[in-house]
Amino acid sequence: MPESKPVLIVGSVALDNVRTPFGEVEDALGGAAVYSSIAATYFAPVRLVGVVGEDFPEKHVQFLASRRVDLAGMQKVPGKTFRWSGYYEFDLNQAHTLDTKLNVFQHFRPTIPQQYRDSKYVFLANIDPDLQLQVLDQIESPKLAVCDTMNFWIESKRDSLLEVLKRVDIAFLNDAEARQLCGSFSIIKAARQLLEMGPSVVIIKKGEHGALMVSESGYFSAPSYPLEEVRDPTGAGDSFAGGFIGYVASTDDISEANLRKAVIFGSTLASFDVEDFSLRRLSSLTTKDIAARYCEFKQIAQFEALAANG
């Protein structure tokens, strides 16, 4: 098998305090770029571009480096690392932010190292869309550029976000964000409007209801994994995106059929992520774990030829 194409991931590296009805963690390694990178590394090498402060523990650097994450693009600058504190109540779909300290992230300007500029697979995790544009300006000719975003940018930087959407191939949004951006209650209608804004594929993340991929060629509805207990939803969307783009990069195949499989691999990684706090479960998977859960997704979704394939 040829070496997989690397994935370039740009986004936040954070220290999180998270509390859920099932426990809590303090100063845990987190951030969109970290969750998505760890998920992606099960399929492809990762080039991480982000920023940390002087307080960022060396053990986290070593952990990332040990997982096929190239850190040449991770800046360490004076000041403190980005911090997020939040909690979830029994309705684990809704994160409640207690505090966000941007710290060194406030003045972050992503600089893509020369040796990363030929990256074919690019994931712009949830950051200021102006920074996402700066990243795109530095990449020579991506084969697949994927972006994520959040409600804050939809409100405060709508024009820049629309510019990003014009320039990416795939946009990830959760259902509430899609509704907000498009002013539509129907996520189907919102997804179709999003396609008109630029991307050729839109992937709507629906939490416990799975995901919907919409393109000109049709709809793909992916189930969620039926977990009885979600211990910590932090990073689920990022693990999803990381697993997705990692799988696509590893196969170097952007056909509709392969993107569908990638959505299921993304769902697989997200389902593991939420089983425990921080990166505990996400970082302890085997290839066999992933393959077995992918097969479970097949069992959960199929309604024809059950006997033949099951």
**Interface residues toward its own copies, by CB under 8 A:** 90-92, 185-189, 192, 206, 208-210, 212, 214, 218-224, 226-230, 256-257, 260-261, 263-264, 297-307, 309
Q: How far is the CB of 294 from its own copies (least distance, A)?
A: 10
d(CA 36, CA 246): 9
Helix (H) or strand (E) holding 37: helix 32-40
Number of helices followed by number of strands (H, E) in the chain: 11, 13
Nearest to 165 by CA among 133, 118, 131, 126: 133
Q: How far is the CB of 155 from its own copies (least distance, A)?
A: 20
If the CB atoms of residues 134 and 251 are measured against its own copies, the closer one turns out to be 251
Q: How far is the CB of 275 from its own copies (least distance, A)?
A: 13
If the CB atoms of residues 1 and 257 are measured against its own copies, the closer one turns out to be 257
Q: List strand residue ranges (DSSP E) for 117-200, in order.
A: 121-124, 144-147, 170-174
* DSSP 8-state class, residue 169: S
Q: How far is the CB of 255 from its own copies (least distance, A)?
A: 9
List phi, psi (to 5°) of 27.
55, 35
Output the CA angle 32-34-37, nearest 5 degrees: 105
Output the CA angle 225-231-232, nearest 5 degrees: 95
Q: How far is the CB of 55 from its own copies (least distance, A)?
A: 36
If the CB atoms of residues 285 and 300 are measured against its own copies, the closer one turns out to be 300
If the CB atoms of residues 92 and 125 are measured against its own copies, the closer one turns out to be 92
If the CB atoms of residues 52 and 173 are measured against its own copies, the closer one turns out to be 173
Q: How far is the CB of 40 from its own copies (least distance, A)?
A: 19
Residue 57 Cα distances to 41, 48, 63, 107, angstroms: 21, 17, 10, 20
If the CB atoms of residues 57 and 223 are measured against its own copies, the closer one turns out to be 223
